[in-house]
Amino acid sequence: MGTIKDLYLTNDNSSRKGSGNSDYKETYRPQFHYSPEKNWMNDPNGLVFYEGEYHLFYQHTPHDTHPDFGRMHWGHAVSKDLVHWDELPPAIPPGEDGAIFSGSAVVDKNNTSGFFDEQGSGLVAIYTNDGNKAQPGKSQVQSIAYSKDKGRTWTKYEGNPVLFPAETLDFRDPKVFWYDESSMWIMVLAVRDRVEFYTSPNLKEWSFASEFGSDISGIHRGVFECPDVFRISVDEDSSITKWILMLSVGDRNGVNPNDPEPPAGGSGMMYFIGNFDGKVFTLDETLDSFDTTKWVDYGSDFYAAVSWNGIPNEDGRKIWIGWMNNWRYATTLPSKEWRGKTSIPRELQLRTYPEGLRLIQAPINELSQLRKPILSLQDLTIKPGMNVLSDISAAKAEIIAEFEINTAVEFGFKVRKSSNQETIVGYNVSNGELFVDRTKSSTIDFHSDFTAKHKAPMKPEYGRIQLSIYVDWSSVEVFGNSGKTIISDLIFPDLESRDLELYAIGGEVRVVSLQINDLVSIWGNETV
């Protein structure tokens, strides 16, 4: 096996940069995840595909590395392939109407709004104005804006706000989609301890339809945020569908502090499987009894994920992206020029298992264009003390492995390793747990809760464990058993910490297959 000292390779001419002069080589800067060139970002917003472009909007403070909630903008980036991104100027700025909080965007292809008489269709953004003064005591309201030039410029609707809260101060993060059966727009909105559904024929006039979640015990640790609702095929059979309701849960905001918090603490995401008739979401108790909360991710750093609207039917995928951060320590991250990034985009599926229907997340196929193969192994037995990867150095990589459980009590990978740093991605056989241990991963003194080992229950399938691991300059995303179990965590190792180890403890484990690839920088960086 030849020595591979460095895996930083030059990208091809399709690589793109942001709007300014950053070289995207700053300490901890992600090399195949989107991050803004400068300053703060949080929730992805307004994800929509239109005329060949994927739009990524996001909560953005363009003037500071900390969130300035009173002057929050919609940041903006576009992509042809969901991998390489062009950062554009902020799309929707705050004004006298208040800050621009989270929301969604849709393609109004039938011009139901009346904004697009000349061209017939365009983009409409639906968002929360925070600090609105239209009605005293009702700070959070819903407003809309429209674009006639593929999202490059936006006009706020002169009739804003289009929806006021009845009573609560938490009334935000609208996700809007078109429902064919009733020829209506549907809005799902986070309202403190529940979500509320509204309907509209034109995106301007909204009627209350129903609410969900206030009476379900055990799910109200924090305020609900960033809901999403969509229809999805079961076992990739288009004739059988279910609806999934996604909810993000804030960090212990006092709705019910006795309810269980997300698996890794702080903020997190849960999902519900059921049915939706255009007005009411009904939990599916027959196929999927609600015995325990279904968590989307068992790591600390996957939050506020929402799905893309407008993906063509011929594509057929449901794709989403999340914010890689946690409100418990989000404002203290050690990156200096920028603070906040997205996960890799993920395809969502719903599959049947003995225990019921479960959400599956898989890295999108488009990431394969970044691959530069490094190593491929098959049918290899790993014993304690061995490291067949001792000659490989990787600060970013894709690791795809399948193991057959033998006598080992624990096995896995140590990534971003040096004499005093390592992140462990492992499987505990006796406990049946996938885990990420970042207690020695990196710079960890910026917050007391960052040092942690995150665990997720995961049973072997036919005596085997499958792992797909995505390591970047400041994160690791682990997809266990073909995406059934996910752990997403930030890490902040030294750039020099790039050794790699495949280990076994207490016995042997058989490597059925192992593929390690470099993922070329999406920013076109030369060797660092």
pLDDT, tens digit, 9 for 90 and up, residues 65-99: 999 999 999 999 999 999 999 999 999 999 999 99
Q: Is the pLDDT of residue 236 over 50?
A: yes
Q: Residue 134: what pLDDT?
A: 86
Q: Break the chain into its structural domains and give their ranges.
A: 40-338, 370-519
pTM for the model stands at 0.94
Mean pLDDT value of segment 120-125: 95
For residues 231 and 276, the answer to whether their CB atoms sit within 8 Å is: yes
Note every long-range contact of 116-123, with CB atoms under 8 Å and residues 24 or more positions apart, other chains counting: 116/146, 116/148, 118/148, 119/148, 122/146, 122/147, 122/148, 123/48, 123/50, 123/55, 123/147, 123/150, 123/151
Q: Is the pLDDT of residue 4 over 70?
A: no
Please identify, in words, the CATH class of the domain defined by 40-338: mainly beta
Alpha helices in 330-427 (DSSP H): none
CATH of 370-519, one of 2.60.120.560, 3.20.20.140, 3.40.640.10, 2.130.10.10: 2.60.120.560
Count the Cβ atoms, other than its own, within 10 Å of residue 92: 25
pLDDT, tens digit, 9 for 90 and up, residues 437-478: 999 998 788 998 899 999 999 999 999 999 999 999 999 999
Mean pLDDT value of segment 94-112: 97
Q: Which residues pair with 509 in a beta bridge?
A: 382, 405
pLDDT, tens digit, 9 for 90 and up, residues 24-63: 999 999 999 999 999 999 999 999 999 999 999 999 999 9
Q: Give me Rg for the CA atoms of the chain.
A: 23
Q: Is the pLDDT of residue 485 over 80?
A: yes
498: its two tokens: 């790039």
Q: Is the pLDDT of residue 290 over 80?
A: no
Q: Is 362 exposed, middle or buried (0-12, 13-18, 19+ CB in 10 A)?
A: middle
412: its two tokens: 């896995």
What is the rounded distance in angstroms from the CA atom of residue 95 to the CA atom of residue 71?
Answer: 8
Residue type, 392: I
Q: Residue 289: what pLDDT?
A: 43
Q: Which of 12, 23, 43, 173 is flagged as catalytic?
A: 43
**Residue 416 is inside which H or E element, if any?**
strand 410-417
Q: Is the pLDDT of residue 130 over 80?
A: yes
Q: Is the pLDDT of residue 284 over 90?
A: no
Annotated active-site residue 86? The verdict is: no
Q: What percent of the chain has pLDDT over 70?
A: 93
Task: Count Cα neighbours of 243 within 13 Å in the Cβ-side half-sphere.
Answer: 17
pLDDT, tens digit, 9 for 90 and up, residues 161-202: 999 998 878 999 999 999 999 999 999 999 989 999 999 999
Q: Is the pLDDT of residue 222 over 60?
A: yes
Instruction: Find tokens 């986070």 and name the residue.
Output: 190
What is the rounded distance in angstroms from the CA atom of residue 476 to the CA atom of residue 412?
Answer: 14
Instruction: Find tokens 């918090």 and name the residue.
Output: 261
Mean pLDDT value of segment 220-239: 92
Where residue 526 falls among pLDDT bands split at 50, 70, 90? low
Question: Which residues contact residue 354 at a Cβ distance below 8 angstroms, ignoring those fewer than 6 apart?
Answer: none
